[in-house]
Structure 1
Amino acid sequence: MDIHLLEIFIQAAHEGSISKTAKKLNYAQSNVTHKIQQLEADLQTALFYRHKKGITLTPSGQVLVTYAEKILNTMNEARAAVGSRSSPSGPLTIGSMETTAAVRLPSVFTQYHLKYPNVDFSLVTGPTEKLLQGVLHYELHGAFVSGPIEHPDLTKDKVIEETLVLVTSPKHPLIQSSHDLQNRTMLVFPKGCSYRAKLSTFLQEEGLLPVKLMEFGTLETIIACVSAGLGITLLPYSIIADYESRGKVTCHSLPDKYSSVTTMFVKRKDTLITPALSAFLEETKHSLNAG
């Protein structure tokens, strides 16, 4: 089986479109179509349904995706293992929740880059759900996500315990009970965010649903809108402490049942621990424990 055909197949499966795949790979559409047909002929099965909106995996295609990702990852790991030197080098792609990347990880990234400049380091931010999929599909070497996490293909290590707080503008009255949140607008990250899920659980169990949700894509926008009085949000106190000290927002405690969340580092159990990844894990442990 041609590895190059698998690479094109995986890209097409992710894009859901021949034209988008061709553009991404800088190929002619006819070339991509021919390569996929070549793979289908080799395997003697259809891998995609073709329709007006693009392409969709057939049951056989869905099975092949899992194997193809493992094959390509193994090939990349083989190259890394054969080419590895004693000093960390090569690509390293790490995922993180935006909040963790903004507050907890800058010192880790800085020290790591200073010590290992030959590592081609990349950071991908997003909600926990998206990051987990990135790790499971071999797109990320590992990721900082919000626990608890239970998955048979993942290993997990506790990084830090965070305290969650409700955040309002400084002019907002003191929140003394959950009922003070009735009819308030909640500012949240997109679906898949663990803090949003935690807030929804809190509101549901306190009998406060439905509430008006306003969705934002960045931490800075949420904090600015909260400070302006648009609504209330739920964030780790470490993220918001500096803003509170400067009088930009006010923090309100949550019941103990909802106030704790664990940030974890997850990776696939079959991930090769390259010198670059090993050094990153050591730097993370050292920097965060020292902090």
Structure 2
Amino acid sequence: MELRTVRTFLRVAELQSFSRAAQQLGYSQAAVTVQIKQLEQELGTQLFERIGKRIKLTENGARFIPHAMELLKVAQKAQTFISDDSKPSGQLRIGTAESLSISVLPQILLEFHTLCPAVETSIHTGLISELFDMVRQNDVDVLFFLDKKTDFPEWVKVLERPEPIVFVASCGHPLAGEQNIPLEKILTQPLALTEKGVSYRYDLEQIVAARNLEMHPFLETGNTDIIVHMLLENAGISFLPQYAVQKHLDAGRLTILSVDSPQIQMWSQLVYHRNKWITPQMQQWIDLMLQRIGPASDCPGPQNML
């Protein structure tokens, strides 16, 4: 049984599509079909029902999933057991939100490189649904994301930290220093916001809709650096995680506005898949994140560590 056929099976099972699995894995659809048929012959059972253009796991296919994941876990363990744990090498794939990659991770990444110079680190950003899929599909080793407190049975969560979301503007903005600014007044100002689909933007939209108001930003972007640049030029107001603007708040260039609106709070969270084998570089990264950010009191902590 080849590991690549096992990986292909898991991806097809996750996506419930031969064509989408082929696209993500870089194979032709015909190659995926051949691999699944080969695996079914080796196991002596049908893994998928194919009815028209739709596929569905058979009962035996569903039962094979935990065994398939264990096979990949054991294979990864075999690849790493002879390495020198004190000098990690190989790859570390980190999934994260763009705002966290810009505002929180740079200093930690620099320290990690100093500790593990032989590790090749890659950062993968996306919307929250895309990041969750990266964990499920083993496209990242760890996920550091911003959202409401989120838990899935297949995850191990090792840290979470509350992150206030604030209205922010230049210290020179006409509304700077005012208290209990009506939300209606904020919405008349030029707004530079993150793109739709971001968790805290969605919560703000719900508050605005509940008051029968409308929001028309002049700028929408997933890059918080662009938004911060606009704020520094006194080009409007934004609604951002406080960590994204903290250094400018400390320097007196930006200010948090006092707005008559419910406080929105999200959580930065670090997770990995429960069936993931913890490589030395993953262990080092998790330890460093715990040192710099700290665990949550109700998090169980890393499992199956080296």
> In the alignment, is residue 7 of structure 1 matched against residue 7 of structure 2?
yes
Distance 1:19 1:130 in 2: 15
Residue in structure 1 matched with residue 119 of structure 2 by the alignment:
119
CA deviation vs aligned residue, 1:192-246 (integer Å, no higher than 9, x gap) = x2222332344345x2454346642322333345567776432122312445647
Q: Paired residue for 1:188?
A: 194
For 2:156 and 2:21, the matched residues in 1 are separated by: 34
97-106 or 62-71: bigger deviation: 62-71
Aligned residue identity for 1:283:
L
Q: Distance in 2 between matches of 1:173 and 1:268?
A: 45
Does the 8 Å contact 1:148/1:262 carry over to 2? yes
- Over 3 Å counting, the alpha-carbon distance change for 1:4 and 1:237 in structure 2 is closer
Distance 1:275 1:228, change over 3 A: same
- The whole-number CA distance in structure 2 between the counterparts of 1:153 and 1:76 is 20
Distance change in 2, residues 1:64/1:140 (3 Å): farther
Instruction: Name the aligned partner's letter for residue 96 of structure 1.
Output: T
> What secondary structure does 1:83 align onto?
coil
CA–CA distance in 2 between the matches of 1:97 and 1:142? 12
Matched, 1:77 2:76: yes
Q: CA deviation at 1:263?
A: 1.5
Change (3 A) 1:255 1:284: farther
Q: Which runs of 5+ in 2 are unaligned?
A: 295-306
CA RMSD of aligned residues (A): 3.8
Q: Does 2:46 align with 1:44?
A: yes
CA distance in 2 between partners of 1:60 and 1:149 (Å): 30
More moved, 168-177 vs 194-203 = 168-177
Following the alignment from structure 2 to structure 1, what is the Cα–Cα distance between the partners of residues 49 and 2? 15
Give the Cα separation in 1 of the matches to 2:257 and 2:18: 47
The structure 2 residue matched to 1:234, chosen from 233, 239, 244, is 239
Change in Cα spacing, 1:200 to 1:69, as seen in structure 2 (3 Å) is farther
Using the alignment, how far apart are the partners of 1:80 and 1:217 within structure 2? 37
CA contact (8 A) 2:167 2:259 kept: yes
SS of the aligned residue for 2:181 comes to coil
Corresponding position: 1:199 with 2:201: no
The separation in 2 between residues aligned to 1:68 and 1:200, in whole angstroms, is 43
The one-letter code sitting in structure 1 at the alignment partner of 2:156 is T
Q: Show the counterpart of 2:104.
A: 104
TM-score with structure 2 setting the length: 0.71
Report the Cα distance in structure 2 between the residues aligned to 1:22 and 1:194, rounded to whole angstroms.
28
Give yes or no for contact 2:168–2:256 (8 Å, CA) kept in 1. yes
Question: What's the % identity of the aligned pairs?
Answer: 20
The 5 Å alignment of 1:140-179 reads: 140-146=140-146, 147-168=148-169, 170-171=172-173, 173-174=175-176, 176-179=181-184
CA displacement at 1:259 relative to structure 2: 4.5
Q: Which structure shows the bigger proportion of residues in helix conformation?
A: 1
Q: Displacement of 1:49 after TM fit? A: 5.5
Alignment partner of 1:58 out of 56, 59, 66: 56
Give yes or no for contact 1:94–1:124 (8 Å, CA) kept in 2.
yes
Q: Distance in 2 between matches of 1:209 and 1:69?
A: 51
Partner of 1:211: 215
Q: Report Cα offsets for 1:148-189 as digits up to 9, x if no partner.
A: 123233232445433321134654545712222346656223
Q: Aligned partners of 1:134 and 1:23: how far apart in 2?
A: 11
Change in Cα spacing, 1:40 to 1:63, as seen in structure 2 (3 Å) is same
Cα deviation, 1:89-132, whole Å, max 9, x if unaligned, reads 22222222211221111111111111112223222222334323
SS of the aligned residue for 2:162 comes to strand
